[in-house]
Structure 1
Amino acid sequence: MAGKQTPRQKMINLMYLVFIAMMAMQVDRQVLRSFEGITVTLDESSKLTAENNNTFYGQIDLKADSDTDYQAIQQRANQVKAESDKVYNFIESLKVNLMQELNYALPDIYSEEEKETNYSSLSNTDAITKRMFASGGPTETATDLQKSVDDYRTFMAAAYPAGSKDAERINKLFSTEDRQRRTWIQRMFYDQPMVAGLANLTKIQSDIRTEEGNLVRALLSNKLEEEIELKAFEPIVMASPLVLSGKPADANIAFGAFDNTLQGKITVGGQEIPLVNGKATIALNTSGSGKKTISGTMTYKDHTGEFIEPIPFTHEYEVIAETLMQPPSGAVISADKMNVVYRGLDNPISATVNGADGPISLRASSGNLSGSNGKYVFRPGTGNTVTFTASATTSTGKSVSGTQEFRIKPVPPARGVILGKTHITVPANGIAAQTVRVDWPDFLFEMSATVTSFKVKVPGQPTTSVNGTTIGAAASKAKKGDAVFVFDIKYKSSTGITGEASPITIEVR
């Protein structure tokens, strides 16, 4: 008789089964809502990244309007944008069609009105499966999707040197290889609920916008680096315009803003002269009297390690008798750092006047200039150029002078860093202690700045504004697997310069 149950026991068992079913339904709904939250966060991240990318496109367009050297960069950047938009918009149209078919829309995270989640649409597996698979294999839509991703991967990887970390990252990030006897389309979409399919598609879009930004920033950064290296270094011949007949005389040939570690070479009359501490020294021809010329070429290794196209130089001097009949004239002005001066900084300037017999006077057409005895500090004012005029008096009492024009440039943009990196991985309990800083990598001047404020975006959470340098509680709700975005980083430098640094990504592990 042990198998018989009372009506009360049967009712208890039935209620228990109903309770278990309700618990299972609750778990399923929580999973669906989590996937929905991930999709919404990725979609919002893509939009923020696109806005940031547009800033770099705008900088390139602005420079291209005033500098023809940037037009090639502009053309390349436009190609990157076109290729990125093409595959991004293809995926977006696929997502829109899926959501319209199931009468579903992603929730607005900024809306104060909470709308009930359409769980039947989120859990639907038929829509995306039918869209991607037919009885004979993948549909035309699935084939077009995979081809778009493959084409984009090929285009982006080709923009970097073969075998570089950037190219490897692109190939891994947009890989569509078969794995465990399953195709990429099967792994991503077969028998998947609609919300999972949307999450996978939105993840691809987020990666597209991120890598688009990485490449455009690299194009602009490489151009700026090339501009500094190719335009800042110019040959400077340092020799007296008058030498005495039969007396030894030397000429120093150096690079403007010269670096004593620079690897280069000077060629004069077919003879190669090695650099010693950044300069080459040759003996001048002082036989006989009259005007003479020294000419040749210089070249140096750029940031790629290759020698640039040789740059020609020429210098005239005059060999005279022991008695100085005419006073020399002219002046030499050089920037201690480079052939530009930076706005907002104290730029060291040196000035000499050949044949000067007394103090040297230096004037600037704009800005503030201080110093004496050939050593000065200049802080630029308005405008894009400044002209320096150096003057002095010779032993005969004649006044001689010379002028030189310099370009005025802004300080390069700062980058936001944590622990010296723009992309870090930390555990969730370690984010609060992280300090946000800024730096100027590879900039010739020593720069320091203090972060005054920034914003923190945690997936699924409202954006938090922080005053100061420490993240603190702004990312307290970050979870393992989240990508925390630190952006709108405001700073003030030790020289009084204020600005906004590039964003930082924190991966939570």
Structure 2
Amino acid sequence: MAGGKETPRQKMIGMMYMVLTALLALNVSSAVLEKFAIIDETLVALVKDTGEANDGLVKAIEASTVKSAEVDEVKEKAKKVRELTKATLVYMDGVKKQMSTGKDGQPLKDVVQDTHHADELMLNDKNGPSLAVAYEKALNKHVAELNAIMKSKKPFEDITKTAGQYASFKDAKEELKKQEYPIFAFHGTPTMGAIAYVSQMQTEILEYERAALTELLATTKGKVYEVDQLVPMVRAKSNSLVAGATYEGDLFVAGAASGVDPVMFKGGQPVKVEEVEVSKGIKIKMGKIKFVAGATGYDQDGIAKMSYPVTINIPGRDPIVQSIEYNVIKPNVKFESAASSTLYKECGNVKNVSIPGLPDMSAINLTCSPEDGKIIPLGSGAYSLLPARANMKVRITMGGAEIGVENFSAIPVPEPQFILKYQNQDLNFEKGVPPNARVNVEIRLPENFSSQNKKDAGYRITKMRISTRTGVKEMPSGNINLADLGARSNDVLGIVSITVVRSTYDPKDDDNLPVNFKFTPIAIPVK
């Protein structure tokens, strides 16, 4: 607290008054007076900085997590100390404003060079006690009220000291030592020097406040949180290992104050904070961080070193800021076909995409240009690739970032092979068929295509042109009734063209996609 040994500020006051006293016997130069303006500017900045620092002490006291009647009382004291100090500083600012204002109520034209206005203003007692006397009483009252609030064992001393109370004036004349405070403080003082002196006294007021708040802070432990939750934790280099690999981690004790509600951020974005039971009866507030890892600058080993900033705000403390580092391994995309490695043009070729070490494939996406075809996601890492031309370039992204490109080749769908059936048997072209026979034209496809591309393998005949003795006739399907065609023995009917369409994986094609193929006419002998 105050009293006893002089502070550096008090020594500064003494030295300043030694200069002022010396100036009484000298012709004060403009250069010396200008220095008072510089000193005042420095002191005003100090007043501002100290006031802000004291505001921080009050906030720290108010943010104390200690729950007790004593701490509640201390918080109220801190509030009163701050209010008292602010009121006194406002009063002192008013005194300085009067010093820089002329008798006409207008600002002094040259306050820096003025040598008598403050003296006359402060010591004028023609109409009662002077302003200097009122100023002294106001500062003494401030100290008295501060001591009443604090009730400390060692109270603060008055700051309105005379020359005899400063060590700097121990060798001064007795006449100076015996001067009353108003005379000692303002008699013969240039106006700018008086203003700087009041600014200096404001720093003294703030120094008293700082000492008081520091004492209160020690009681509340304003920035020291009572850690009542302890739990062992391990910071592992990796939580997923291949059998046989070495597990490494750092074991430490994590502590938390249950009465504190931290606010957490990742890269400036709020993080959801949840109370997690880490062991029986022990709960700790944790921020939940989840994002899709991505990178571009991989090294020769396929590893990219990444980081993200986190911030934790706790009442009464500066933000806790940390950069969290992690490694991103370049994904090794694998395409595994549910069918075969062959892609057919304009067919749904199902491919399963996997990345070793990545169980969740929800962030993976496959795209291609419209000219190359289209891709239909099927879920759980499965996609249907529908190439529109011989080469299809597939772009793989994770969370919007490209992680690979895969090039596929596509071949046309199989050409239909036509099989003629008579009485459920393959037609014997040497024996032929009777004039009243019913012949069915069936389509046969490669087994692997039919089994692996079932949705695209629904080939069917929609039109068939048959040459007869009376001309070419059209049939709407592959079913031929020779009697309807007027067939006779020794005729030869000729299938000159067949139109085939097929079902499609893509519903937009309406299961009616034409099949291109080279057709060789088929002759049906009638016996």
The TM-score bracket by the shorter chain reads: 0.3 to 0.5
TM-score normalised to structure 1 length: 0.37
More helix by share: 1
Q: Which structure's CA Rg is the greater one?
A: 2
